[in-house]
Amino acid sequence: MASIVLGPGISVGPGITIESMPAATLRSVLSPTGQSAYDAATTGNFFAVSSTDYGNVATQLSSVTKYVMNDSQLAVASSGSWSANFAQAHPSSVATVSSGTYVIGFVARGGSSTSGTVTPLISIGFPPSAASYAAIANSPTTPNTAALNYYIRKAPATATAATSYLGVVNSQTVALNNSSFTGLQGYYSASGPPYTSWTSWTSTFLYYQVLGTPTVQW
């Protein structure tokens, strides 16, 4: 007697067979365009994706956490601007990443007149100590539009070895979010990489969100 297929992974014949479906992977949850970008990217580096692909990674992979800003904060209207090449360490209360976390994506806001780059930063110390914030991986390009830009990281091999803190720096002048972390203690640095000289900052903050997971899914 031939089996009757009821749906993916389930068939009925003389008995009932339930086949396990392949687990979701970072590449598999991307659109065809996103998969092409994934294939072209260098392992361990960030590459640009659509907001839909970014959202799929955040919701369809397991144990993904959003750090720094939530989605509502990313949607707040901008106010003022932030000078190019001034790094920002977001408040530790929202930007602390546990050890054993793989950083797999981020959102940042581009400038309005010129294209540039955006560099996600991470440190095992938090200012005002001599915290050294270094690039998580590469510095992908942001287009010359005042908009949110979405990035996914291809198959990172290394998780955080200790509790770490997130920051970001843009090579172009970019917009500030004027209400996300009112009164929370952050810092900025104009010292250039590896950003060891920090000044207290409790006002407006750069648009930024990071995706992290403790589970290898690629």
**What CATH number is associated with residue 165?**
2.60.120
For range 23-39, the mean pLDDT: 97
Residue 203 lies in a domain: yes
Residue 2 lies in a domain: no
Does residue 125 have a pLDDT over 70?
yes
For range 177-206, the mean pLDDT: 90
Residue 88: which residues within 8 A CB-CB, separation 6 or more?
Answer: 82, 167, 168, 169, 186, 187, 188, 189, 201, 205, 206, 208
For range 111-124, the mean pLDDT: 94
Domain count, the chain: 1
From 125, 146, 152, select the one nearest 37 (Cα to Cα): 152
Identify the domain containing residue 67 by its residue range: 23-213
Residue 27 lies in a domain: yes
Residue 78 lies in a domain: yes
Residue 147 lies in a domain: yes
pLDDT band at 5 (very low <50, low <70, confident <90, very high): very low
**Percent of the chain having pLDDT more than 90?**
78
pLDDT band at 15 (very low <50, low <70, confident <90, very high): low
Residue 164 lies in a domain: yes
Q: Which residue has the tokens 């959102």?
A: 107
Residue 3 lies in a domain: no
**Percent of the chain having pLDDT more than 70?**
90
Averaged confidence pLDDT in the chain: 91
